[in-house]
């Protein structure tokens, strides 16, 4: 079953098209990274996805139900983590969760137990009765995710969940989200950080200037970029002789090569060629110390894809 189906989703703010004719499908069990630079339209898309913002055009279906026609039903089936934290600061963590549990439709008798359970998972049980206003950013972020999980949703939508956290906090949140998706919850995570998406997601969609420019698995996306650019193999030898240089040039699939000190580098179509390269070097009398393959990082893929397609920052 499809967790999310978005068709022709468009949002205009005056002249600005923040989201432009976006089509997207997320399968049940997917862990989807919605990647884009600042101002790409991630938050706007998510707001329409969960019914906070009326689209200019297009439809959103969650678990097969239309968001705008059957909003109340649909909202029972997902949890949402907004991009900026949004609790009642003067109330305690417990009071906040109690309120959102009530709004989520959890029966009164079950609320307390569920809240304590989540506070424990998120290591907040000792601060249950402290005012949320006194919480650190990391604690607030954990609390807002706990809030989203209250009704045992089977879909979790998170807008930049690690924004503003220190590396330790980011790591904790990522681990939490990973464990949630391992339990079978479909996740939709927006982010402008590639490492994050690489770490947490199996599928990624890249949005830039309101347009979805790629949807793919992370591996496919990387190889898609590898094909035109190729990967670089760096082989360090004890000595680089002219013979070796010549022989490397001749290997099929090598597009370019060169020497830097005792290292010979070659740009090749794929890493399948590396063994051939090393064999050739050895048979020409070279002694290899180290072989390194440098494939483009997702970072480069991302920069490349978002470079010129729309031209905004």
Partner 1 sequence: MILDVIRKEIKEIRKTRRLLVIGILFVVATIACAVVSAQWLDKGPNEMINGGLYGLILMFVSLLALMLAYDTIVGERNRGSLALVFSKPIGRGQFFLGKFLGVFLLTTVLFIVVSSFGYWLNAAIFGEFPSGAEVAAAYKFFFAVLLVILCWISFAMFFSTCFKSAAVSLITTLILWIMVLPMISQIPLHIYAEQQGQIHIPFELGEISFPIWVKALYAVNPDTCIGELSGHLLGSLPFSSSILTTGQSIGAMVIFAVVFFVAAFWLFRRMSLE
Ligand X SMILES: Nc1ncnc2c1ncn2[C@@H]1O[C@H](COP(=O)(O)OP(=O)(O)OP(=O)(O)O)[C@@H](O)[C@H]1O
Binding site for partner 1 (CB under 8 A): 13, 47, 50-54, 71-73, 75-76, 78, 80, 82, 84-91, 95, 98-100, 102-105, 144, 147
The answer to whether residue 38 forms part of the interface with ligand X (CB under 6 A) is yes
The answer to whether residue 209 forms part of the interface with Mg ion (CB under 5 A) is no
Count of residues engaged in binding Mg ion, rule: CB under 5 A: 3
The answer to whether residue 170 forms part of the interface with Mg ion (CB under 5 A) is no
Instruction: Using alpha carbons, select from 29, 1, 23 the residue that is nearest to residue 210.
Output: 23
**Cα distances (angstroms) measured from residue 43 to each of 32, 35, 64, 182, 191:** 15, 11, 22, 25, 10
Please report how close the Cβ of residue 142 comes to ligand X at its closest, in angstroms: 20
Point out which residues pair with 12 in neighbouring strands.
17
Backbone torsions φ then ψ of 270, nearest 5 degrees: -150, 170
The entry of partner 1, Mg ion, ligand X, none that residue 218 binds, CB within 5 to 8 Å by partner kind: none
The entry of partner 1, ligand X, Mg ion, none that residue 31 binds, CB within 5 to 8 Å by partner kind: none
**Cα distances (angstroms) measured from residue 241 to each of 207, 244, 245, 287:** 48, 5, 7, 11
Judged by CB under 5 A, which of 19, 31, 43, 174 binds Mg ion?
A: 43
Please report how close the Cβ of residue 95 comes to partner 1 at its closest, in angstroms: 7
Phi-psi region of 112 (alpha: psi -120 to 50; beta: other; left: phi over 0): alpha
Q: For strand 203-208 and strand 186-191, is the pairing parallel, antiparallel, or unpaired?
A: unpaired
Segment near Mg ion (CB under 5 A); pick from 37-45, 118-126, 223-231, 276-284? 37-45
Please report how close the Cβ of residue 268 comes to partner 1 at its closest, in angstroms: 49
> Is the distance from CB of 284 to CB of 238 less than 8 angstroms?
no
User: Distance between CA 209 and CA 92 in Å, rounded?
Assistant: 39
Backbone torsions φ then ψ of 43, nearest 5 degrees: -65, -40
The answer to whether residue 157 forms part of the interface with ligand X (CB under 6 A) is no
The residue among 69 and 195 lying less far from ligand X, judged by its C-beta, is 195
Please report how close the Cβ of residue 60 comes to partner 1 at its closest, in angstroms: 13
**Contact positions vs ligand X (CB under 6 A):** 13, 16, 18, 36, 38-44, 83, 192
């Amino acid at each position: 079953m499809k967790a999310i189906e978005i068709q022709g989703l468009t949002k205009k703010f005056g002249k600005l098209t923040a989201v432009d004719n976006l089509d997207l499908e997320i399968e049940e069990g997917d862990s989807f990274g919605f990647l884009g630079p600042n101002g790409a339209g991630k938050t706007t898309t998510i707001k329409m996805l969960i019914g906070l913002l009326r689209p200019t055009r297009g439809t959103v279906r969650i678990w097969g139900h239309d968001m705008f026609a059957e909003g109340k039903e649909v909202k029972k089936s997902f949890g949402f983590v907004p991009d900026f934290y949004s609790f009642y600061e003067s109330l305690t963590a417990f009071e906040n969760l109690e309120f959102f549990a009530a709004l989520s439709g959890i029966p009164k008798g079950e609320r307390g137990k569920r809240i304590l359970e989540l506070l424990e998972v998120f290591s907040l049980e000792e601060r249950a009765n402290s005012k949320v206003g006194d919480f650190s950013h990391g604690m607030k972020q954990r609390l807002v995710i706990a809030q989203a999980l209250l009704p045992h949703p089977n879909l979790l939508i998170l807008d930049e969940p690690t924004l503003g956290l220190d590396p330790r906090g980011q790591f904790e949140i990522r681990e939490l989200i990973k464990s949630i998706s391992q339990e079978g919850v479909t996740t939709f995570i927006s982010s402008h950080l590639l490492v994050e998406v690489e770490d947490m997601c199996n599928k990624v969609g890249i949005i830039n200037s309101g347009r979805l420019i790629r949807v793919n698995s992370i591996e496919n996306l990387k190889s898609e970029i590898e094909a035109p650019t190729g990967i670089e193999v760096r082989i360090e030898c004890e000595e680089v002789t002219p013979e070796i240089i010549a022989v490397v040039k001749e290997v099929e699939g090598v597009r370019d090569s060169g020497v830097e000190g005792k290292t010979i580098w070659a740009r090749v179509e794929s890493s399948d060629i590396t063994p051939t390269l090393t064999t050739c070097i050895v048979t020409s009398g070279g002694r290899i110390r180290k072989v390194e393959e440098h494939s483009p990082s997702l970072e480069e893929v991302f920069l490349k894809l978002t470079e010129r397609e729309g031209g905004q920052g």
